[in-house]
Amino acid sequence: MTEQVSTILARLTGQEAPTPAKDELQAQALLEGSGLGYSQLNELLLASGYDRVSPGFFRYLLAGGREESTEAAHTAFKSVDSFSKAVEQFRIWAVLSYGNVKYAFKYLSKLDDNSINLELESTAPIDEEVYSSRHEPLIPIEQIAGTDTYYLGYIIARELNDRLAENPEDEVVREELKKRDEIVAKGKRNHEAYLTSDHMDVYVATSMRERHEYQVVADTVAKVFADPRLRNLKIRWFDPTQAYCEDRIDKGLVEALMLRRAQCTLYLAQEADTLGKDSELASTLAQGKPVIAYVPRVPPDKETEFADELLRMVGDSEAPGNLKAILGQLRVYAPEAAWNDPEVQEWIRCPAQADTGAAKAKLARAIRKHYEKRATTLKDSHPLGLQVNLETGVANGVLVARTLEECAELVFRVLTATLEFALESQAGSLVLRERVTGSIFRVVTGDKLLTNSFWNFYLLNVANSAS
Residues in the chain, pLDDT under 50? 1, 65-73, 317
Residue 178: burial class (beta carbons within 10 Å; 0-12, 13-18, 19+): exposed
Sorted by sequence, the CB contacts under 8 Å of residue 102 that are 6+ apart come out as 13, 14, 15
Residues 401 and 294 sit within 8 Å (Cβ to Cβ): yes
Sorted by sequence, the CB contacts under 8 Å of residue 205 that are 6+ apart come out as 265, 266, 267, 268, 277, 280, 281
Task: Give the SS3 label for residue 445.
Answer: coil
pLDDT score, position 465: 57
pLDDT score, position 23: 66
* Bridge partner list, 268: 294
Q: Note the Cα 287 to chain centre separation in Å.
A: 12
How many residues does this entry show for the chain? Answer: 467
pLDDT score, position 65: 46
pLDDT score, position 109: 95
Q: In angstroms, rounded to a whole number, what is the distance separating the alpha carbons of residues 426 and 233?
A: 37
pLDDT score, position 259: 96
CA dihedral 241, 246, 250, 256 (to 10 degrees): 10
pLDDT score, position 220: 94
Query: Nearest-CA neighbor of 280 among 295, 265, 269, 298?
Result: 265
The domain segmentation of the chain, as residue ranges, is 5-121, 131-295, 300-375
Concatenating the DSSP letter of every residue in 401-444 gives E-SHHHHHHHHHHHHTT---EEEEEETTEEEEEETTT--EEEEE
Query: Which CATH entry fits the domain spanning 131-295: 3.40.50, 1.20.1260, 1.10.3470, 1.10.357?
Result: 3.40.50
pLDDT score, position 9: 93
Q: In angstroms, rounded to a whole number, what is the distance separating the alpha carbons of residues 272 and 285?
A: 21
pLDDT score, position 126: 95
Q: In angstroms, rounded to a whole number, what is the distance separating the alpha carbons of residues 347 and 123?
A: 57
